């Protein structure tokens, strides 16, 4: 499949291309041939059909990720709403782990993405800035990385990163327990989410969800031509946008507050290429859990749908470890950092941590503000009005009718979607809530969920499903919008869309 793309203002300069915020949508549809009514005279002579394409799911990849990496390849997990109205799922095989059976309903797509012709990638800049670190630590960091690169030149080893002022900072200084945002699940909701495929409990799931809803803005867009910039968590919550490093640091710091064994991990993702994520391993847990900060999902290192392709580095508050195993594929790695034949520590007997003065660059507190309910209600109405108007515009050649009763029912259903999502519920009772319509109508539909960034981003997501393209006038639509507010104006947007056709 070939897709044509043109950079802003037709400017092919590297700094201009890096600022491109286009999204590549890969949408999967079920194509159906629907019989059309015929007259008595036509019944034996003419076949009338219309083609209907029902949206099943999608994958979204920012164009800048493809440009910076040149190519992306892997097994991508499809974002498929659960449930899909009008469809049922087969029974799933599970991954057997120890004596338990963990089942994650999922669909994947093997995909390769590149550009033709390949454009010149942005030049990397050597990070040699001022620093408040001791000369002793900086010299050891340089020597440590140089020695590692001699054996594994293709692995991205680092011990220091650049803060927002351009100063080199030792990675563990970013890792520090921080106050959790003021929300929580009820006691009845604190059971494990293993049935939903998670490796963590519901509190971890909700924190991962919260962090993933903070808008992403790659450093290549914010600081084109510069190296990665790491913000502290308070700076991140003030700017309300950041790269995967900021998201991973914040999530890791929340997990530290929960006394979880967690690390910042640096490696390669099939979605973004070089990436930063969180790795956790509970006592008694055989395989570690990788937490994707882009969508809040977690996967075990042995899961085929794990988006992490390689792991080069682990860091916690105490130390940094470089992967010196021949393998860097998570499912083939050993994660016991105490084994020096597999992991080379930054601090060791030859360079003990005791020699280094220790302070964190993180604050002791974070500022959280309650999101105003009236602002959320106004935004819901605005999005709802715009989407209804867009449907009429997109279907200008056909009449657009709304099924008001079904629409009201969807408004009731969509209000529970966020908590169902966090708790791992698949919402199988939704069909029963629409049973009054199923006797007279065929109903097909789905829910969409996304962090709130702009209304245009929501419109684009709905438009990409092509649900409006049913070229017939004997169809009715139902659409409902809800927003789940988190502190600091962080919003989870849910949209439920369905179309109904009368049964013959």
For the chain, give every domain's residue range: 8-114, 135-355, 373-502
Q: Which of 164, 169, 180 lies closest to 359 in space, CA to CA?
A: 169
Cα distances from 497 to residues 30, 67, 185, 408, 468, in angstroms, run 16, 33, 27, 12, 10
Question: What confidence score (pLDDT) does residue 361 get?
Answer: 96
Q: For residue 494, what is the enclosing H or E element?
A: strand 490-502
Over the stretch 39-87, which tens digit does the pLDDT of each residue have?
555 566 666 666 788 888 888 887 777 777 777 887 788 888 877 887 7
Question: What confidence score (pLDDT) does residue 16 get?
Answer: 66
Over the stretch 135-169, which tens digit does the pLDDT of each residue have?
999 999 999 999 999 999 999 999 999 998 889 99
CATH of 373-502, one of 3.40.33.10, 3.10.20.70, 3.90.1150.150, 3.30.2130.10: 3.40.33.10
Between 307 and 186, the more confident residue is: 307
The CATH class of 135-355 is: alpha beta
Beta strands in 22-94 (DSSP E): 23-35, 49-62, 71-77
**8 Å CB contact between 232 and 162:** no
Question: What confidence score (pLDDT) does residue 301 get?
Answer: 96
Question: What confidence score (pLDDT) does residue 196 get?
Answer: 41
State the pLDDT confidence band at 480, using cuts at 50, 70 and 90.
very high
Rounded CA gap, 491 and 488, in Å? 9
Q: For residue 464, what is the enclosing H or E element?
A: helix 455-464
Question: What confidence score (pLDDT) does residue 25 get?
Answer: 83
Peptide bond into 117 cis (omega under 30): yes
Rounded CA gap, 285 and 200, in Å? 11
**Range with the lowest mean pLDDT among 60-74, 140-154, 309-323, 348-362?**
60-74
Same fold, 135-355 and 373-502: no
Q: Which of 201, 200, 177, 316 lies closest to 257 in space, CA to CA?
A: 177
Rounded CA gap, 6 and 478, in Å? 35
Over the stretch 455-470, which tens digit does the pLDDT of each residue have?
999 999 999 999 998 7
């Amino acid at each position: 499949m070939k897709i044509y793309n043109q950079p802003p203002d037709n400017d092919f300069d590297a700094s201009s291309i890096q600022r491109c915020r286009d999204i590549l949508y890969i949408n999967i549809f079920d194509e159906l041939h629907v019989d059309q009514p015929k007259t008595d005279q036509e019944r034996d002579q003419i076949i009338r059909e219309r083609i209907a394409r029902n949206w099943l799911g999608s994958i979204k990849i920012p164009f800048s990720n493809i440009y910076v990496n040149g190519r992306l390849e892997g097994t991508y997990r499809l974002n498929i709403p659960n449930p899909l109205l009008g469809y049922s799922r087969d029974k799933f095989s599970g991954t057997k782990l120890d004596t338990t059976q963990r089942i994650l309903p999922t669909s994947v797509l093997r995909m390769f993405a590149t550009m033709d012709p390949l454009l010149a990638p942005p030049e990397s800049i050597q990070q040699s800035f001022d620093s408040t670190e001791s000369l002793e630590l900086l010299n050891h960091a340089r020597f440590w990385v140089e020695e590692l690169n001699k054996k594994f030149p293709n692995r991205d080893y680092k011990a220091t990163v650049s803060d927002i002022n351009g100063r080199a900072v030792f990675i563990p200084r970013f890792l520090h327990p921080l106050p959790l945002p003021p929300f929580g699940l009820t006691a009845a909701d604190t059971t494990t989410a293993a049935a939903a495929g998670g490796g963590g409990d519901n509190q971890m799931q909700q924190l991962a969800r919260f962090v993933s809803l903070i808008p992403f803005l790659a450093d290549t867009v914010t600081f084109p031509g510069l190296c990665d910039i790491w913000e502290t968590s308070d700076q991140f919550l003030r700017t309300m946008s950041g790269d995967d490093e900021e998201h991973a640091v914040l999530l890791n710091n929340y997990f530290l507050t929960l006394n979880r064994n967690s690390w910042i991990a640096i490696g390669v993702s099939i979605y973004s290429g070089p990436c930063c994520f969180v790795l956790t391993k509970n006592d008694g847990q055989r395989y570690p859990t990788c937490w994707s900060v882009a969508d809040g999902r977690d996967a075990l290192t042995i899961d085929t749908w794990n988006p992490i392709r390689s792991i080069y580095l682990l860091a916690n508050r105490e130390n940094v470890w470089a992967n010196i195993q021949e393998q860097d594929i998570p499912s083939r790695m050993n994660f016991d950092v105490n084994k020096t034949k597999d992991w080379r520590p930054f601090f060791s007997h030859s360079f003990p941590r005791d020699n280094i003065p220790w302070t964190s660059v993180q604050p002791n507190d974070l500022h959280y503000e309650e999101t105003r309910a009236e602002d959320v209600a106004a935004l819901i109405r605005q999005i709802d009005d715009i989407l209804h108007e867009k449907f009429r515009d997109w279907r200008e050649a056909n009449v657009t009718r709304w099924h008001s009763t079904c629409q009201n029912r969807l408004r009731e259903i969509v209000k529970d979607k966020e908590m169902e999502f966090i708790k791992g519920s698949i919402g199988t009772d939704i069909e029963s809530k629409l049973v009054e319509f199923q006797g007279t109508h065929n109903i097909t539909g789905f829910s969409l969920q996304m962090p709130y960034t702009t209304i245009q981003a929501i419109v684009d997501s709905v438009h990409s499903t092509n649900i409006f393209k049913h070229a017939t006038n004997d169809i009715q639509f139902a659409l409902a919008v809800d927003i789940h507010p988190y502190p600091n104006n962080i919003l989870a947007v849910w949209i439920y869309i369905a179309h109904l056709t009368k049964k013959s």
